[in-house]
Amino acid sequence: MTETADELSTPLGQKAERKKRWFRLPFTAMQALAVLLGLFLVAFLTVALFTDNPLGGEPIARVALRKPADEKQSAAASGPPEQAPKSAAHQAPAGDNKTVTIIDGSSGKRQDIVIGSDTADKSPAEAAPAAAMAGIDQRLLEKSRHGMIPVVADGLKPFTVYAADADRAKAARMPVVAIVVGGLGVGAAKTTDAIMKLPPAVTLAFTPYGADPARLAERARAQRHEILLQVPMEPFDYPDNDPGPQTLLTTLTSDQNIDRLYWHLSRFQGYAGIANFMGARFTAADTVMQPIIREAAKRGLGYLDDGSSPRSAAPALTAAQSMPFAKADFTIDAVPTSAEIDRILVKLETLAKERGMAVGVASALPISIERLAVWIKTLDNRGIMLVPLTTAMLKSKSG
């Protein structure tokens, strides 16, 4: 009421004076917000430009190495612990052996590796790869930007060093059959079944994918299986049918495909040769297939053609490189039923007796492993010898 009365009593054309505030901010709320944003931007740029952080803010883990009591004094004089992005390892004594625990920083997966006392004085970063590469001839490894890949050294080739043992003199005198079970490394259960339920003379082929193909491949070699690396190649219906990352493609240059080949070759070690994984279009294109065959031959590997493409250029290209080669005669489980698998195995026997050698490929389906295991036990009575693929390749070459 007082304000209304004042307005009514004020002369026309004049405004009533408002009461003055005791305190007035010298800026508006929008101006304050703009200043705060500006300060934040300046601070961010200062950290980005002047902070020495080569990891770009990526999470790191510090590795603490505990040394035995008699080494504590020397350890005290050492520098700060190393930094390791994305993964960390902890080493602890356990008698004469030590256990290295590798922790993947992105997935959190832990892997324990026991190493002997001869590697006890190495850092976890040095000891873990050495333990994981047990049984691998270090002379036959060469560093690439993706990791270690096979190489010929000191007159030795991976094909001969990693070939499974076999009585080759006996194989030269009688019909032989080689069986290759592929698609391994993806799915630990089916891979383990193939490794443990099939005899060592069965060759196992691993894809470069899966959570830990190197561990499974090493387990296969520990059971005396010969192993191959399956290299994904472009099929006719690509990309609707995509073999996987780093697939070799007809649309890439030879240098790009060689780089992708190196990626696959570095996934694990200890294989005697490579095989195509799909790839009907790629293997039929001589111009893109030739550099791959030439590179694999230069690195001392054999080549298996899975027989899925009648137009494959692999037979002629491998012959030109004097490269150990075999082509699968039958896919044993194209129709995965007991009756059909048994029928194909009979055809494989017949071909081996007629020609002296036959090669069959299969996947690691439970029914396939079951029927193969039963059939293999009968081969001796049928006068046929089961041999690793490398033995069949050598017999074919000598013949």
Domain segments of the chain as ranges:
69-132, 158-398
Instruction: Give the pLDDT score at 92.
Output: 38
Q: Is the pLDDT of residue 138 over 70?
A: yes
Dump pLDDT digits (tens) for 341-385.
999 999 999 999 999 999 999 999 999 999 999 999 999 999 999
Confidence of residue 123 (pLDDT cuts 50, 70, 90): very low
Instruction: Give the pLDDT score at 25.
Output: 60
Average pLDDT, the chain: 81
Q: Is the pLDDT of residue 133 over 50?
A: no
Dump pLDDT digits (tens) for 241-279.
999 999 999 999 999 999 999 999 999 999 999 999 999
Q: What burial letters (b/e) apply to 311-326, b meaning 16+ CB within 10 Å?
A: ebbbeebbeebebbbb
CB 273 within 8 Å of CB 301: yes
Dump pLDDT digits (tens) for 17-44.
555 555 566 667 777 777 788 787 777 6
CB 213 within 8 Å of CB 188: no
Confidence of residue 70 (pLDDT cuts 50, 70, 90): very low
Element (H, E) at 350: helix 338-355
Mean pLDDT of 145-158: 97
Rounded-to-integer distance, Cα 279 and Cα 229, Å: 14
The helix/strand/coil state of 95 is: coil
Q: What burial letters (b/e) apply to 170-179, b meaning 16+ CB within 10 Å?
A: ebeeebbbbb
25: its two tokens: 């901010």
DSSP of 226-251: -EEEEEEE--TTTTTS---TT-B-TT
Q: Is the pLDDT of residue 91 over 80?
A: no
Instruction: Give the pLDDT score at 193.
Output: 96
More reliable by pLDDT, 103 or 233: 233
Match 């190493």 to its residue by tokens.
115
Q: Where are the alpha helices (DSSP H) in 166-273?
A: 168-173, 188-197, 213-222, 254-265
Mean pLDDT of 192-211: 96
More reliable by pLDDT, 22 or 309: 309
**158-398, CATH topology level:** TIM Barrel (3.20.20)
Nearest to 223 by CA among 274, 270, 159: 270
Q: Is the pLDDT of residue 93 over 50?
A: no
